[in-house]
Structures are given as structure tokens and as C-alpha cells.
Amino acid sequence: MIFNLAFSVNTYMRYPKLRELGEAIKALIKGPYTSRFPYEPHVPEKRFRGKPIPNQDECIACGACAEVCPAQAIEVKESADNDGVFNRSIIWHYDLCVFCGQCERLCTTQKGVKLSNTEFDLATFDRKTLFSGVEKELLLCEKCSTVIAPISQLLWVFNKLGHMAYGNYALFSTYQQSMDLSQNNKPKTEIKDIARPDIFKISCPKCRHQVHLFDEYGIK
């Protein structure tokens, strides 16, 4: 029994050595298995995860990617330009990105960002090249100027809902504005000036609650 055990161990140890010798001979004939990167371009596998590249047209700036990013490499910023238009920027920080692919996998539209198969070597001395992003205009409440959502996000929801979207005034009005069929969204009144016709204005949940409360109970 001891002899059989020793023979089995010797056989088990011998075969890996033979396999390694075979691989070494193949490498001498066919050349090394490794690529010559960076001297020659490296061709990754088909499912290789590289640099996330946002799509300006397909991204709706909802911010879902920033919520699921484990490395917190995606920043959401809101600011106003010189014309008083409020915008939301989604910025990818490639110096923090770990190429996990969560932003692509959980993107709301499934088209807003895609991981590149070829761009992965991001080493540089110029940190300005380590940023990328998109910018979308925000829809504001006509009563208190609170941010409701990016216009592109509301239009995407409108298209997904189809004819059912006409039951939501904010979606329908945003769609009309995108078609130049109504006035642009500009805050005109203060929240204290609530009146019954305000129900037909684009408002945030707080202001819409005030309008319904005023309309139902006559509270002034």
C-alpha cells in the first residue's frame, strides 16, 4: 500500500514537469506567448473592459451611473451658464476608474456609456486628458426654480410611455417645448402666488402639492 502511494505521488509529480517541458518547446518554436506591448499594439480579447466612453446623444444625464460606481469615479455637477440656463454634467474621472463596467451594465438607456475594447492604456503626464463627460439642460420648476430632471431624461420617458405620457402634464409640456410648440421653461412667479391655473404649469412635487391643496380646500 505504501509502495502504491509513493508510485502515485511520483507519477503525479512527473507529469506536470513533462507538460511544462512541452510548453517550453512550443515557445521556442512558435515564439513567446506574451505580446510585445508597448512596442507593438496589444489586441485585447473581445470582452475586455477598457475605458468607459459616454455617448453625448444617448446619455440622458439621469445620474444612475454615478450611483452605482464603486470607485466613485463619476461626478454629477449642476451649474448655470451665462444665459441663465441650468445644465447637469456627468464627468468620468479615468484616474479613479477601475473599468468594472457597472456604469454600462446599469445605464438607464443601455446606450449612454460603453466600455472601449481598445482604449485601456491611459498613463499620461497631462491629467487634463483623464476626464470625459456629457452635459444636458435641466428642467426647472416654473414656480420655485427647483430642478425637476434633465430635459433629455423626460423626453426619453415620454418616448418609452408612448400615448400614456399624455396623462402627465410635465412630460407632455416638455415634449411640446422640444418641438417648439410652447414657450420655454422659465420661472415666472413665486410660490406664494399660487392659483388654480398653476396646475397647468411645470412644477416640482412640492409646488404641485401646494396647488392641489389650494384648489381642493381653498387655502390661501
- 79 has which bridge partners? 87
Classify 120 as helix, strand or coil: coil
Q: Provide the β-strand partners of residue 113.
A: 54
Burial (CB count within 10 angstroms: exposed 0-12, middle 13-18, buried 19+), residue 24: exposed
Q: What is the pLDDT of residue 38?
A: 78
From first to last of its 220 residues, what are the pLDDT tens digits of the chain?
Answer: 554 545 454 555 556 677 778 888 888 888 777 778 778 888 888 889 999 999 999 999 999 999 999 999 999 999 988 777 899 999 999 999 999 999 999 999 999 999 998 888 888 888 888 999 999 999 888 888 888 899 999 889 888 888 787 777 677 677 767 765 444 445 444 445 666 677 777 778 888 788 777 765 455 5
- Residues 199 and 205: their CA atoms lie apart, in Å, by 11
pLDDT of residue 42: 82
Q: Specify the pairing of strand 131-140 against strand 74-80.
A: unpaired
Q: Is 162 left (phi over 0), alpha (psi -120 to 50) or beta?
A: left
Question: How many C-beta atoms surround the C-beta of residue 159 within 10 A?
Answer: 11
Q: Quote the pLDDT of residue 104.
A: 95
